[in-house]
Chain A
Amino acid sequence: MIRAQQLEKRFGPITAVSDVSLEVAEGKILALLGPNGAGKTTTVRMLCSLLKPTNGNAFICGYDTVTEAKTVRGLVGLLTEMPGLYGRLNAIEYLEFFGKLQSVPENTFVAISRRLLEYFDLWEQRGRPIATFSKGMKQKLSLARALIHSPKVLLLDEPTSAMDPYSAKTVRDYIRDLKKDGRAIILCTHNLAEAEELADQIAIIQHGRTIAIGTAEQLKCQFLGPPSYEAHFAKPVNESVVFYNGIIKIEEWSPHQVRYSTLHPEVANPAYISHLVASGAELIRVAEAPRRLEDVYLKVTGLNDR
């Protein structure tokens, strides 16, 4: 539903985006990560026909973002990074304004707006001027605005950044529902845990180009090496028990635990566990060592080395 091929955007002498390619299918979420100024917002703006690419092209549901911009803007719901709202309007008036601009029929609008406001806990506040809303409420209202025309494609820039944990969870749950409903979603975020939790694919952009793309697991394997496992013992073990030649590589060990890696966990783990048990080790647990997306991000972007 979203397809971008070698997108490039120059502003005079400045190249904001030099080579971004990505694809998001129906019912999938792509998280777009990158440092500030990496080109995420420019990429999103090109995808929703706000900016014309200098080179390359992008399609939303098969429609060209340049030649069929009007159609594209009707298919996309955009939540901007800093959503300004009309402070004198109330929530209903605000949604009504954008609903009309998106040509949402009156009866559909009534049902959708109520459903969205209720879901985001704004229904009771619907008559209050938006200027009196908290940051989180404003962000939820902005998200409701982006959804008012039931877009097939959603481009969400930091959707939970200003929210309290409960509101953020509510929004994340709603994003999951949207995914189940078959929407294609691009999520720009600096919240890597959120990205890992929600996204099917992760793309990392730096200096205007895609430097890594794949599932979280693929990226971890690619940039952090094969997964590590940790075995914890009830009683101390000696070196001869821990070391096991062949298909595992010991990364570190102590009498109470060992950390190892393997390229073939499906074969190596059962064999190693059998070896430990046979050697008399009293195993408490064996588990994959946690690896964070943040480590991938820092490694890929080179920010770790600074």
Chain B
Amino acid sequence: MIDNISLPLIITKREVTDTISDWRVVVPTFVLAILFPAIMVLGIKWGTPFMVQVDPDAAVVKAALFGAMMSAFFPTSFSLVIALESFVGEKERNTIETLLTTPLSNGQLFIGKFLAVMTLPVLLSSVALFIYLLGIWWLLNITVPLSFIILTMMLTFSEVLIMVAGAVIVSSQTATIKAANLLASFIIIPMALSVQGQVLLILTGYGYILWFMVAGFLGIAAILVRMGVTVFDREAVLTRENDDLHITSIAEKLARLWRRLPNNAFAGDEVPSTGIHLVRLFRADIPQIIGLAKIPILVAVGVLVSSAIMGFLFAMEHPIPMGELRVSEIVNERTSLALGVLIEPKSIFVHNIRTITIAAILSIFTFGLAGLMVIVLTFGLVGFVLGEAMVAGIAPMPFIVGFLLPHGVLEVPAMILASALSLRVGMSIMSPPSGVGYVENLLFSLVNWVKGAALFVPIFLAAAIIEARLTPQIALWIFGKL
């Protein structure tokens, strides 16, 4: 048990010592951890007269909180550099194999390196925060609440966790730091966006939402760390001799995955890659893709039902006052729009395709959540409207039959399939099959999404035509009778 932690700590100690003996790290460290918080404090001090003019009560306090968060966050940017250096750098310098010959388990090696990478950024971040808090108290007499300090530290910690775990995964896909740096943008961009979001929340007075963000970050970090532990395997580390990130290599993989049947996608060269045609696509490829996406489809259906129920229950708890809801107006507006004044099949179709495409792309960065959000938002709203309609005294069945069923019969399965395939896109990087790389599995899921689109895009088109042309007529007919 002692060996379990003492051996990894030997690695941690060496790596931390190595990092702090590098002036390329020490100089920016000093700037970010000591000078930057001081500049931040002075900036707030000098900016106070102007800020008070904008918002006498809260501006300075908000700026102080913002400064605390920035002071703590900036040194964490080191974590990515150190992590890439520790994992892919060791490989590039050929020192990793020697380390792998020691009796430590893969997990112990991972922990030793992970702690080494975490230590300095977290420590620096704490120092920077301390200097900032001290400065702002001394020069401006502002005391940042303890709860916010804890929140900032937890946010920082979870962000470092995410960046480091992400860097490990990135390292597993590359053999050189240069290639790893390119892939690291997949970590930096979402992280930068999230920091902007955090700042916005603080400045708009919704700082409490950051606690939910911490919880979300820790959840994501847990997933990433688990992935990191999985990929930090002696065999995987040693056998990745070349970068698979060349455009030509990716193009070749895409072409092979496109030509192959999904069930044989990762088979050896003994399985030929034959040309794909429309009949095979619908007879073999798409049924196999649906078969492979059974669980995501079930998840999508589950999310659909629960979103609709949540929307419905929300409507029950928050009914719109009867005076403000005029069903006749809804019907008239709806039908008048649908009769061709504004809504055309093309605009419905383009909107749907745009939404599911963006969701699929965002799924890569959100582990598939973006794909499910399409269902959550759509059916949450459907449930809500249905609930409000019921509160307003409209019978649910005519509402469903009039407004939803005609095009929904087609649109709902298409949406479930699209969302399920988007979910698979997001999940693909979390658990590739044994012997398959993350990039290859991601490409496989994207190819499957495109092949699946051959089925759901025409269905969306048919549904759009029905929604624009037929649904309003049916709704008008039903509600005209009512």
* Chain A residues close to B by CB (< 8 Å): 11-13, 45, 48-52, 70-71, 73-74, 76, 78, 80, 82-86, 88-89, 97-98, 100-103, 142, 145
Tell whether, in the assembled complex, residue A86 and residue B235 are in contact, meaning their CB atoms are under 8 Å apart.
no
Pick the 7 closest A-B CB pairs, nearest first. Answer: A84-B94, A84-B95, A101-B102, A13-B268, A13-B269, A74-B103, A73-B103
Contact A76/B93 with A88-B18, A97-B14, A103-B3 known, Cβ cut-off 8 Å = no
> Considering the chains assembled together, what is the distance between the CA atoms of A133 and B235 in angstroms?
30
Q: How far is the CB of A99 from chain B (nearest CB, A)?
A: 10
Tell whether, in the assembled complex, residue B98 and residue A84 are in contact, meaning their CB atoms are under 8 Å apart.
yes
Q: How far is the CB of B16 from chain A (nearest CB, A)?
A: 12
Tell whether, in the assembled complex, residue B98 and residue A98 are in contact, meaning their CB atoms are under 8 Å apart.
yes
Tell whether, in the assembled complex, residue B95 and residue A85 are in contact, meaning their CB atoms are under 8 Å apart.
yes
Tell whether, in the assembled complex, residue A97 and residue B101 are in contact, meaning their CB atoms are under 8 Å apart.
no
The residues of A that contact B90 with a CB separation of less than 8 Å are: 84
| B321 part of interface (Cβ distance < 8 Å) | no
The residues of B that contact A86 with a CB separation of less than 8 Å are: 14, 18, 95
| B105 part of interface (Cβ distance < 8 Å) | yes
| B45 part of interface (Cβ distance < 8 Å) | no
Tell whether, in the assembled complex, residue B435 and residue A12 are in contact, meaning their CB atoms are under 8 Å apart.
yes
| B469 part of interface (Cβ distance < 8 Å) | no
Q: List 10 A-B contacts (CB under 8 A).
A: A11-B239, A49-B234, A50-B101, A70-B105, A73-B101, A74-B103, A78-B98, A84-B93, A101-B7, A102-B103
The residues of B that contact A85 with a CB separation of less than 8 Å are: 95
| B21 part of interface (Cβ distance < 8 Å) | yes
Tell whether, in the assembled complex, residue A50 and residue B234 are in contact, meaning their CB atoms are under 8 Å apart.
yes
| B58 part of interface (Cβ distance < 8 Å) | no
Question: Which residues of B, 231-264, contact A by the 8 Å Cβ criterion?
Answer: 234-235, 238-239
Q: How far is the CB of A67 from chain B (nearest CB, A)?
A: 13
Q: How far is the CB of B101 from chain A (nearest CB, A)?
A: 5
Known: A11-B239, A84-B93, A89-B18. 6 other contacts (CB 8 A): A13-B269, A50-B101, A78-B98, A101-B7, A101-B10, A101-B104
> Considering the chains assembled together, what is the distance between the CA atoms of A35 and B276 in angstroms?
41
Chain A: CB-nearest residue to B19: A88
> Considering the chains assembled together, what is the distance between the CA atoms of A13 and B93 in angstroms?
27
Chain A: CB-nearest residue to B437: A12
> Considering the chains assembled together, what is the distance between the CA atoms of A152 and B412 in angstroms?
67
Contact A101/B94 with A11-B239, A51-B234, A86-B14 known, Cβ cut-off 8 Å = no
The residues of B that contact A88 with a CB separation of less than 8 Å are: 18, 21-22
Chain A: CB-nearest residue to B92: A84
| B265 part of interface (Cβ distance < 8 Å) | no
Binary contact readout B1-30 vs A (1 if CB under 8 angstroms, 0 otherwise): 001000100110010001001100000000
Tell whether, in the assembled complex, residue A83 and residue B14 are in contact, meaning their CB atoms are under 8 Å apart.
no
The residues of A that contact B14 with a CB separation of less than 8 Å are: 86, 89, 97
Q: How far is the CB of B441 from chain A (nearest CB, A)?
A: 13
> Considering the chains assembled together, what is the distance between the CA atoms of A97 and B14 in angstroms?
8
> Considering the chains assembled together, what is the distance between the CA atoms of A142 and B269 in angstroms?
39
The residues of A that contact B268 with a CB separation of less than 8 Å are: 12-13
> Considering the chains assembled together, what is the distance between the CA atoms of A88 and B25 in angstroms?
14
Tell whether, in the assembled complex, residue A80 and residue B97 are in contact, meaning their CB atoms are under 8 Å apart.
yes
Q: How far is the CB of A78 from chain B (nearest CB, A)?
A: 5
Residue from B94, B97, B238 whose CB has the most chain A CB atoms within 10 Å: B97
> Considering the chains assembled together, what is the distance between the CA atoms of A86 and B17 in angstroms?
12
Chain A: CB-nearest residue to B241: A11
The residues of B that contact A82 with a CB separation of less than 8 Å are: 94
Q: How far is the CB of A300 from chain B (nearest CB, A)?
A: 27
The residues of B that contact A73 with a CB separation of less than 8 Å are: 101-103
Chain B: CB-nearest residue to A16: B239
| Pick from A45, A83, A103: contact of B238, CB under 8 Å | A45
Chain B: CB-nearest residue to A10: B268
